[in-house]
Amino acid sequence: MPTIVGRGLDRLAPGHRAARGIDRRTVVRIGIVAAVAYAAWLAIGAFGRPYNFFDMKIYHGAVVWWASGHELYEFIAPTTTLGFTYPPFAALAMLPMARVPVEAAGWINAAGSIGALAVVLAALLRPIVDRLGWSLWFNVGIATSMSVALEPVRETLGYGQVNVLLFALIMADLVGLRWRSRRGTHGRPTDGPFLRFLYSGAWAGMGIGLATAVKLTPALFIVYLLVTRQWRTAATAVGTTIGVTLATFGMVGTESRAYFAGVLWQTERVGAADMTPNQSLAGLLARLYDSIETPGLLWLAFSVLVLALGLSRAATARADGDELTAFTLVGITANVISPISWTHHLVWVIPAIVVLADAAVRRREASRGMALRAAQSSGYGGPPGVTGLRPPIWYPTLTGLRHAVAAVGLYLLFLVSPIWPYEHQLPEVSHYQDGLFGALMENSLALALIVLVAALPWRPGAEPAFYTDRLARTAPAAARR
């Protein structure tokens, strides 16, 4: 009996060792994620600015003022000249926070934004980690921590802004397009009408519509949907925007009329164009001309050029099967051509970094495949008993390096955010106070956005969101050709 038991324990020993190995690996990964999160916290302290939920205090004060019976757009925050600038629908969405203290509202917004960012990154990284065989939760944990340290996210969280939540709404439509292209049933639970509707992707466009009802700049995504002839998604987005806006008119007509008839056109409520945190094309031109106001005709001409370039490149990216890059190009283009794009609006650099990093990996993988095929065709099979092939001497070791360098450089730029040491504002201080180098640093984020519109690569076939019926119609024609 003892012999039999001993043999049984011997058989179980490898399983126990494997379990201990898995546990150790998991613990190590958790430690790495925690270390990256701590490093992100230190980076925020080193490169960020003092935050005290400044914008959240304005929103909170406005909805408290409104809930007490006053007119929403008559509110002016104490010791400032700032009031509520969002449409009435946004005020309705924020109204519940009037019941909690402003600090609690700020932390709730921060926690919700980080959670939404993690979900978005999971959706963006899922096709990549599945292809590479990596761990999803581990990579999402690292990516979320690294993203929180970036200028747009840390400013959004620190000021109590809503940009990450709007970003998540728009990216939800990308997921909807992805599910719709798969008809929503393969490998998905579909018990019940809600899950069938959810995984069908029929709701794609609602996120863009809701984001447009809160802030007008996401309307460029509707233009993109029309340009790329995604009629159903565009109709859903337009219908959602109009439906929400009309419903808001029905609920708070006085505030709606005040906003669309007056507040919407009062650009002075937002801030001067030349302010350093305004990293749009308009802000860039105002600072280059060392003027408080943007040169209107010049801005209009360059905006039309950037708009045409961004939409055309987005349409081509989608046609080549990369909807993620298409969405990213549209988001960055909206940041560039908007009259005001504060640094906390620039969250679209996050998917741009993902695209650049994945492009580097894909090119590296393709290069290895070419090297192996060349080795096979040359007859080299390696020594007996050795698996794998030695690549030839011309193996392109630097393939994908420029995309990797671009991804790292873009991340470091928005991590360090070199605009703040050179922050100036007229009429007190000229934007050329620190010379040409200072002017370059003060406009560095805006210049990076323009370069991305012109040069962000896409990955053919990496993120297709075509509809199955469209592919079914085009495949026979392609076969005949």
Lowest mean pLDDT among 223-232, 358-367, 409-418, 431-440: 358-367
Q: What is the pLDDT of residues 288-301, one digit of tens each?
A: 999 998 999 999 99
3-state helix/strand/coil string of the chain: CHHHHHHHHHHHHHHHHHHHHHHHHHHHHHHHHHHHHHHHHHHHHHHCCCCCCHHHHHHHHHHHHHHCCCCHHHCCCCCCCCCCCCCHHHHHHHHHHHHCCHHHHHHHHHHHHHHHHHHHHHHHHHHHHHHHCCCHHHHHHHHHHHHHCCHHHHHHHHHCCCHHHHHHHHHHHHHHHHHHHCCCCCCCCCCCHHHHHHHHCCCCCHHHHHHHHHCCCCHHHHHHHHHCCCHHHHHHHHHHHHHHHHHHHHHCHHHHHHHHHCHHHCHHHCCCCCCCCECCHHHHHHHHCCCCCCCHHHHHHHHHHHHHHHHHHHHHHHHCCEHHHHHHHHHHHHHHHCCCCEHHHCCCHHHHHHHHHHHHHHHHHHHHHHHHHHHHHCCCCCCCCCCCCCCCCCCCCCCCHHHHHHHHHHHHHHHHCCCHHHCCCCCCCCCCCCHHHHHHHHCHHHHHHHHHHHHCCCCCCCECCCCHHHHHHHHHHHHHC
Q: What is the predicted pLDDT for the residue at 479?
A: 46
Length of the chain, in residues: 481
Is residue 314 within 8 Å of 330, Cβ to Cβ? Answer: yes
Q: Is residue 16 part of a domain?
A: no
For residue 396, name the pLDDT band (cuts at 50, 70, 90).
low
Q: Is residue 365 part of a domain?
A: yes
Q: Is residue 411 part of a domain?
A: yes
Q: Give residues with Cβ within 8 angstroms of 75, minimum separation 6.
A: 61, 62, 65, 66, 83, 84
Q: What is the predicted pLDDT for the residue at 187?
A: 52
Q: What is the predicted pLDDT for the residue at 238?
A: 97
Is residue 358 within 8 Å of 324, Cβ to Cβ? Answer: no
What is the pTM assigned to this prediction?
A: 0.86
The overall average pLDDT reported for the chain is: 85
Lowest mean pLDDT among 3-12, 54-63, 192-201: 3-12
- Residue 159, token pair as written in the block: 């000021």
Q: What is the pLDDT of residues 87-141, one digit of tens each?
A: 999 999 999 998 999 999 999 999 999 999 999 999 999 999 998 899 999 999 9
Q: What is the pLDDT of residues 301-335, one digit of tens each?
A: 999 999 999 999 999 999 999 999 999 999 999 99
The CA-to-CA distance between both ends of the chain, in Å, stands at 74
Q: Is residue 181 part of a domain?
A: no
Gyration radius (Cα) of the chain, Å: 26
Q: Is residue 422 part of a domain?
A: yes
- Does residue 361 carry a pLDDT above 70? yes
Q: Is residue 184 part of a domain?
A: no
What is the residue whose two structure tokens read 């992707």?
Answer: 201
Q: Is residue 232 part of a domain?
A: no
Q: What is the pLDDT of residues 203-225, one digit of tens each?
A: 999 999 999 999 889 999 999 99
Q: What is the predicted pLDDT for the residue at 466?
A: 55
User: Structurally, how many domains does the chain consist of?
Assistant: 1
Q: Give residues with Cβ within 8 angstroms of 276, minimum separation 6.
A: 283, 287, 419, 420, 422, 423, 424, 425, 442
Q: What is the pLDDT of residues 82-95, one digit of tens each?
A: 888 889 999 999 99
- Does residue 282 carry a pLDDT above 50? yes
Range of the domain at 284: 271-378+389-464
Question: What is the distance between the alpha carbons of residues 445 and 455, in angstroms, rounded to a whole number?
Answer: 15
Q: Is residue 419 part of a domain?
A: yes
